[in-house]
Each structure stands twice: as C-alpha cells, then as structure tokens.
Amino acid sequence: MHDRRKARRYQVTLSAQVTDADRRYRTEVLDVSAGGLLLAQPPAVSVAVDSLLQIEAPMIGRVQARVVGVSRHGIHLEIEPHTRQYESAIERLSILSQAW
C-alpha cells in the first residue's frame, strides 16, 4: 500500500477504544494527520476495507472513520466526516510533536 495522505503525519501512541458494528476492542493510534489516522491492528481482529469504525482516544475524542486499507503497518483510516473537533486535535498534536 502506498502513502495516499497529502497532509503531514504526526507519530503518536494513544490508547484507543474502537467500535466496529457489534464488537469493541482496544488498540493504539500510531499516527494522525488532517485526513486520517493509523491504528495498530490487534491480534485476531480483522476489518474490511470500507468498514466504518468509531474511535475514541485521548487528545482526539470520538471520531468516525472509514477503513481505506489494511497493511503490515496497521489499519489505515480516513476520518468521515471531518469535524472541527478533530482538526483542533490535530493542531494540538502537531504542537506537542514539535516540542518533543
């Protein structure tokens, strides 16, 4: 899978709770950008491309995202719909990443 993100990625490690249809599981957000994020894929959890997931994580809050791909790196997601809350979270995370 090639990198389709146009916006800069910010590497993070945030605990996340994911809801996918009728199941819930915990994983980590590995990076974020203005358009999406990357989740670590938990063992024994598979997701289909085009699935909608609800993700809740510190600093990000609750967002809905569509699976656009799955790779050895994790679950690639596009935020749908884009919200001001998510944009604000990315702004805060970008400032923090520059401080590290």
Mean pLDDT of 85-97: 89
Tell me, what amino acid is at 85? Q
Query: Longest C-alpha distance within the chain, in Å?
Result: 39
Q: Domain 10-99 adopts which CATH fold?
A: Thrombin, subunit H (2.40.10)
- Mean pLDDT, the chain, integer: 90
Q: CA angle, 89 as apex, 44 and 54 as ends, to 5°?
A: 35
Supply the pLDDT for residue 99. Answer: 65
Domain range summary for the chain, segments of one domain joined by +: 10-99
User: Which run of H or of E encompasses 67?
Assistant: strand 61-71
Q: Which of 69, 5, 6, 8 is nearest to 39 (CA)?
A: 69
Mean pLDDT of 15-32: 94
Model pTM score? 0.88
